[in-house]
């Protein structure tokens, strides 16, 4: 449930800039200082960023400041803070944006001294992948500073990605030489989360941000940085030379799926990582779905109700086998029908509860498989859908279930037919 009541108290300072009444300072960076402010005409709280006074007279600083505003304004994803307006008054240069109340993830790590759960870390990673995927699709934006301190959990329990001040857009012609707008030898980004190619100041694309997100996931899961040293130069060297750390060494309870995901994100070469935000998001969803699936059935198998039904089913099956064995021995000496023509061998009783429980387990298994398969089919990835059915290992209770086997065989034949049809269609098009 969302909580729309803000906990922060606005403390007016008596200073006014344009349409904004300044309040307390929220933070300061290399380009400017951010204040909590009240927009008088709209009667709303905003975050107002004011360019440092000493930079106002520098053309390069003004370009970089308004470049940040322009990039923020061009991003329409709900995952970013919205930009309202920019202006200049009496030598004060500023722009206002949505005020996001909450706590950044780095502060939460520091205060609680507890790492994040795997489920929450995957949820955060999926949020960043979807948010940056939208920004990349719209404006080819590279954030260049993804880290826990720039991800905030709002008072509504949602997430926001902050600080596009060092980001780069390949659609922005004025941004073509954005690195030249920084001071000499000024490194853009945070060394602890920086990809090797970003540290080397070579061509960047979304894969540099994917690397930074991988470092962020490792940090959230373990509470530690994978490459850490008092010297920033040593940290950068580790990004180039040190092997990719195994997250399970510090968090043995992390699943192998998450371990493989982070390992691929932290590949030294960009070509060895996920090729796009969309590919990364799909892999994260797959890990989440797999964890939910096994967690769901683990709870079923470990529950007292299941154990009762399973024991009942075993007992019923044993009784059936003994009964059939008894009838078989009797049929050797007795005629098939009595004087009234009634069959001597009656159907053995079967536990209705046991049948219903196995039926429900079978249907839930098929429903899960069909959902995953439909997602692949919708994306025209029929080979992945086929592999899902071919390599599926049923839970122990359904290991020898003939109904489930038959349904799986039917789905495999259906997908094989679809793939064969697509291949034939492609060949006919090529022939023409």
**Residue 92: domain span:** 16-98
Shared-domain flag, residues 117 and 231: yes
Contact of 26 with 35, CB cutoff 8 Å: yes
Shared-domain flag, residues 92 and 108: no
Shared-domain flag, residues 231 and 139: yes
Q: Which residue in the block uniquely carries the two structure tokens 């982070």?
A: 262
Shared-domain flag, residues 145 and 163: yes
pTM: 0.63
Q: What is the DSSP letter of 159?
A: E
Query: Is residue 2 assigned to a domain?
Result: no
Q: Is 17 helix (H, G, I), strand (E, B) or coil?
A: strand
Contact of 31 with 61, CB cutoff 8 Å: yes
Is the pLDDT at 47 greater than 60? The verdict is: yes
Q: What is the DSSP letter of 171?
A: T
Shared-domain flag, residues 106 and 94: no
> Across residues 395-422, what is the average pLDDT?
86
Supply the pLDDT for residue 249. 94
Query: Is residue 371 assigned to a domain?
Result: yes
Nearest in space to 281 (alpha carbons), one of 132, 120, 77: 132
Annotated active-site positions, please? 145
Supply the pLDDT for residue 429. 38
The residues pairing with 48 across neighbouring beta strands, listed in sequence order, are 35, 96
| Average pLDDT taken over every residue of the chain | 80
Query: Is residue 3 assigned to a domain?
Result: no
Query: Is residue 178 assigned to a domain?
Result: no
What is the Cα Rg of the chain in Å?
31
Nearest in space to 255 (alpha carbons), one of 289, 228, 227: 289
Q: How many domains are there within the chain?
A: 3
Confidence of residue 382 (pLDDT cuts 50, 70, 90): confident
Shared-domain flag, residues 63 and 203: no
Q: When comparing pLDDT for 40 and 325, which is higher? A: 40
Shared-domain flag, residues 91 and 213: no
Which helix (H) or strand (E) element contains residue 49? strand 44-51
Shared-domain flag, residues 238 and 362: no
Supply the pLDDT for residue 401. 86
Supply the pLDDT for residue 116. 96
320-376: per-residue pLDDT in tens? 877 677 666 655 544 444 443 343 333 334 445 556 677 888 888 888 888 888 888
| Contacts made by residues 305-311, CB under 8 angstroms, sequence distance 24+ | 306/357, 309/353, 309/354, 309/357, 310/354, 310/397
Is the pLDDT at 175 greater than 50? The verdict is: no
Q: Which of 98, 113, 138 is the last residue of a domain?
A: 98
Distant-in-sequence, close-in-space partners of 160: CB < 8 Å, separation ≥ 6: 79, 80, 81, 100, 102, 151, 152, 154
Q: Which of 98, 120, 154 is the last residue of a domain?
A: 98
């Amino acid at each position: 449930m969302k909580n729309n009541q803000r906990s922060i108290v606005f403390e007016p300072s008596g200073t006014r800039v344009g349409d904004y009444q300044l309040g307390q300072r929220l933070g300061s960076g290399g380009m400017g200082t951010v204040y909590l402010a009240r927009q008088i005409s709209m009667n709303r709280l905003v975050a107002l960023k004011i360019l440092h006074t000493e930079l106002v007279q520098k053309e390069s600083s003004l370009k970089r400041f308004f470049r940040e505003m322009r990039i923020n304004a061009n991003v329409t994803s709900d995952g970013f803070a919205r930009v309202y307006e920019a202006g200049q008054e009496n030598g004060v240069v500023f722009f206002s944006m949505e005020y996001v109340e909450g706590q950044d993830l780095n502060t939460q790590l520091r205060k609680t001294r507890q790492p994040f759960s795997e489920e929450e870390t995957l949820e955060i990673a999926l949020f960043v992948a979807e948010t940056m995927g939208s920004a990349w699709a719209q404006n080819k934006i590279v954030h260049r500073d993804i880290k826990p301190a720039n991800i905030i959990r709002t008072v509504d329990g949602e997430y926001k990605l902050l600080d596009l001040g060092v980001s780069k857009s390949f659609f922005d012609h004025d941004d073509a030489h954005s690195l030249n707008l920084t001071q000499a030898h000024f490194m853009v980004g945070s060394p602890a989360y920086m990809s090797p190619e970003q540290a080397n100041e070579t061509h960047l694309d979304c894969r540099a941000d994917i690397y930074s997100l991988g470092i962020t996931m490792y940090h959230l899961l373990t509470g530690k940085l994978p490459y850490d040293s008092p010297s920033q130069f040593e940290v950068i060297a580790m990004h180039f030379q040190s092997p990719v750390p195994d997250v399970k060494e510090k968090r043995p309870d992390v699943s192998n799926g998450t371990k493989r995901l982070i390992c691929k994100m932290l590949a030294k070469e960009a070509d060895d990582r996920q090729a796009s935000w969309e590919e990364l998001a799909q892999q994260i969803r797959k890990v989440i779905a797999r964890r939910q699936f096994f967690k769901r059935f683990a709870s079923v198998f470990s529950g007292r109700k299941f154990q009762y039904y399973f024991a009942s089913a075993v007992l019923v099956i044993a009784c059936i086998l003994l009964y059939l064995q008894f009838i078989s021995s009797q049929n050797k000496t007795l005629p098939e029908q009595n004087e009234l023509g009634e069959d001597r061998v009656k159907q053995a009783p079967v536990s209705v509860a046991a049948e219903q429980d196995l039926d429900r387990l079978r249907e839930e298994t098929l429903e899960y498989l069909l959902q995953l398969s439909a997602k692949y089919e919708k994306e025209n990835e029929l080979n992945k859908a086929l592999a899902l059915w071919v390599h599926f290992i049923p839970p122990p209770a359904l290991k020898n279930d003939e109904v489930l086997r038959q349904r799986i065989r039917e789905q495999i034949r259906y997908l094989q037919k679809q793939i064969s049809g697509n291949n034939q269609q492609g060949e006919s098009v090529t022939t023409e």
